[in-house]
Amino acid sequence: MMGKSKLGLLYLDELKGYYKSKLMLVLWIGLPLLSFLMQYLQPNAEEIPLSIFVAILVGSIGGTLSSVLISTTITSERNRNVYDLFLIRPVKRWEIIIAKYFAVLTCLLFAVVISVVMGIIVDIIKIGTPISELLKINAQSLIVAFMSICIACSIGIFFGIIINSVAVSAVLSVYLGNQISAIVILPTVLIPEINVIFYAILVGVGVSILILAISIIIFSKKSQY
């Protein structure tokens, strides 16, 4: 029970820090605005629902930026020896990582939901797609985008832990985070027969847990930060 309360406090503390950051404010405003503007940029707008494009863009852009945010935060805190303070507190290192991970995901989920809702509104007004069909499509879009972000954030944590340079950590998170998280999005676009929701959850959760587990092991074994 005590462990849960410590983890909860860490999570709330990280959440406050992230939602006050300028980058997160940009995501909260920019991603929904992007989904709205896509109605003017989307090809074949009369045939293809906007939500499909929104999912790809939100998953890619949101995942990349959140990966950079979390990786540079961890690297910067390590360089400033912030984690030395936890040596005198009853806080386990895995709790620090998990708290940061879910704090970022919570903030990104808020932005993703707003973006998808904007896509629904535009589709209803512009295309006249039935609400039942839109809900199904957007449920898939939301899951695909969020699972992509889950992977990107776990990669950001990994580089934040193993890299000492903030700049290098950011570059690797942008490049590899975007590339690896695409394994959730691309098959759902290229293979029509695939079960989108099942595949996205299986790959998104599986890959994220694997990378987080490796990161936690490395983080726990290092003696100094």
Q: What is the pLDDT of residue 1?
A: 42
Q: What is the pLDDT of residue 52?
A: 61
Q: What is the pLDDT of residue 155?
A: 93
For 59, the domain range is 2-221
Give DSSP secondary structure letters for the chain: -HHHHHHHHHHHHHHHHHHTSHHHHHHHHHHHHHHHHHHHH-TTTTTS-HHHHHHHHIIIIIHHHHHHHHHHHHHHHHHTTGGGGGGGTT--HHHHHHHHHHHHHHHHHHHHHHHHHHHHHHHHHHT---HHHHHHHHHHHHHHHHHHHHHHHHHHHHHHHH---HHHHHHHHHHHHHHHHHHHHHHHHH-TTS-HHHHHHHHHHHHHHHHHHHHHHHHHH----
Q: What is the pLDDT of residue 145?
A: 80
In this prediction the pTM is 0.81
Number of domains composing the chain:
1
Q: What is the pLDDT of residue 7?
A: 80
Per-residue pLDDT of the chain (225 residues; tens, 9 = 90+): 444 567 888 888 888 877 777 767 777 777 667 666 765 565 554 455 555 666 667 767 777 888 888 898 898 888 887 776 665 566 778 888 999 999 988 888 887 777 777 767 766 766 666 666 666 666 777 788 888 889 999 999 999 999 989 889 888 888 887 778 878 877 766 776 778 788 889 999 999 999 999 999 998 876 544
